[in-house]
Each structure stands twice: as C-alpha cells, then as structure tokens.
Amino acid sequence: MKITRFDTNDDLIIVAARVWGQFGQKRVSLALDTAATQTLLVPDVLDELGYSVRDGEKVTVVRSAIGAEAGYTIRVARFAALGFTSSDFQIHAHDLPEGIGIDGLLGLSFLRQLNYEIRSAEGRIVVERVDGPG
C-alpha cells in the first residue's frame, strides 16, 4: 500500500507523476480525474521528451461545451504516478486551457489498475495495485 498526499486547499487534487522518453524523464503535475477515461498530457510535455505527433497511434477528438478539439494517442516508454509505474503506457495528448497550472489529467486508463481511496479531509490518497484483471 502506498500513500500520496495532496493539498486540501487546492481546488483540484494535484498529484506528481513522471514520464520517460528518449530525451530523459520529466516530472509533471496532474489533476486526478476519475471522470476522465484517458490519462492526458499536454503535447508540449511530450515534445520535450522526444515524442512527436508522427509517433501517435491515432487522431482523437475531445468534445466539450465549447466545441471539438483534435488530439492524438501515443505510447510513452514509462509512466509513473501514485507510487506505481506502467511501461509502454498509452497517453492522450491534448491541449488544456492556459494558466490552470497542470500538465494533464490522471485518468481511469491508469487508475483502473489500482484500488484507491481519496481521503479528502486528510489530503491523502491510499493506493494498492490490483492483482490480475478487475
């Protein structure tokens, strides 16, 4: 079991994550988002690590109240968050609004391999890896 702390005064639950690419590794700040089906990073972070839209697996579209915006999915060499690491991990590359202070979203594509409790009043996320499917 691992415990990750977060600031209870923030409007979002922000967690640190790490992404690896051919140019090294980078620490990123992600909003934990159980409503996001995919884990998302802004393309600038991926560019810094040596990834390119040309390496992408498919073009995607994110629809919101303000319209539809294009993005893409891409596999990163390694991704780590909440004390756990995944190799050859699929990321959704998509821009986020400027000035929100995060590099992306930690979504269900990563979270579903874990059991976790978000203890909001304590500012803690208690996490353990699930053994096997489901």
What are the chain's domains? 2-129 (2.40.70.10)
Alpha-carbon torsion, ordered 113, 126, 37, 17, to 10 deg: -90
pLDDT at 114: 97
The model's pTM is 0.91
Measure the CA–CA gap between 111 and 97, rounded to whole angstroms: 23
pLDDT at 1: 93
**Residue 108 burial by CB count (10 A; 0-12/13-18/19+): exposed, middle or buried?**
middle
SS3 88: strand
Query: What string of pLDDT tens digits covers the 134 residues of the chain?
Result: 999 999 999 999 999 999 999 999 999 999 999 999 999 999 999 999 999 999 899 998 877 666 788 899 999 999 999 999 999 999 999 998 888 999 999 999 999 999 999 999 999 999 999 875 54
pLDDT at 134: 44
Interior CA angle at 64 toward 91 and 92, to 5°?
Answer: 5
Neighbours of 14 (CB within 10 A): 16
